[in-house]
Structure 1
Amino acid sequence: MSAPSALPNYLYKILPAAPPSPLPERLPLSDLDRNDGFIHLSTSEQVPGTADRFFGGCTELWLLKIKYEVLAAGTDGDGRVKTEGKAEVKWEEVGRGCFAHLYGADLGEGNVGEVLRVEKKGTWAESLRLEW
């Protein structure tokens, strides 16, 4: 499936626990990402629904905020653009939405722009206000 017509400025990776600080060049993959063969990402509009669905029991979440253009360029977690086995963001239909999946790269200090800690107040939809 192709990318949405209005590409987001940022994509987010949802984590149920704090990532290492400082961020390493390569963050460990979640079991889901390892099994699926790609890193699951969400737009700002998708994060609340994904958080409510998969992380509803958590009282806090950690979000990796990543500039879309950095991932679209093929930047790996070490900050280098991969030329062989290039990293790629693919937009794929999942359920009722089209989600970004990162293939062929890791997340890390070289492509994650910011780490955000969010506390749950009510639902995640009520607690999250993110940049598109």
Structure 2
Amino acid sequence: MSDFPLIAYKVLTAPQMAQLETNGVFKGAPIDLADGYIHLSTEAQLTETVDKHFAGQTDLHVVAVDLAVLGDAVKWEPSRGGQLFPHIYADLPLNAAVAYGPLGRGTDGRVKLPAAS
């Protein structure tokens, strides 16, 4: 994975974020369960992902995921426009989350990354 980012991002609804915090694991959103893997985005892909798949939704959260913790469960696969996206072929454990928080946007409209605590 040396050519790929070490951190990727998952957008969660408030109930999904509560599930991750309460259960210590997130098994996937309906689209993840249907596709058989958990969809993530790189920093460069995150704003477009939110705009495309979460338009009009509020009370969203962003989780920064340390891909190294997930090891071989992470596969980089082509998706939107042939871009490679990180997919997790396993549950997302809370211990892989290096930071998370409510989704916010900067003055340029880009999604702000969660700050590590």
Which protein is bigger by CA-based radius of gyration? 1
4+ runs deviating over 6 angstroms: none
Q: Does 1:17 align with 2:14?
A: yes
Please list, as runs of the form range in 1=range in 2, the aligned pairs for 1:1-132 lying within 5 A after superposition: 6-17=3-14, 19-20=17-18, 22-72=21-71, 74=72, 88-96=73-81, 97-103=83-89, 105-120=90-105, 126-130=109-113
Q: Is contact 2:10-2:41 (8 Å) kept?
A: yes
Aligned pairs, number: 111
Contact 1:12–1:44 (8 Å) recurs in 2: yes
Letter in 1 for 2:97: V
Give the Cα–Cα distance (whole angstroms) in 2 for the partners of residues 64 and 111 of structure 1.
9
Q: What letter matches 2:53 in structure 1?
A: F
Is the CA contact 2:59–2:103 (under 8 Å) kept in the aligned structure 1? yes
Structure 1 gaps of 5+ residues are 75-87
Higher RCO, Cα 8 Å, sep 6+: 1
CA displacement, residues 64-115 of structure 1 (integer Å, 9 cap, x when unaligned):
111121122x5xxxxxxxxxxxxx2111111311111111x21122222222
Q: Secondary structure at the match of 1:128?
A: coil
Higher share of residues assigned helix: 2
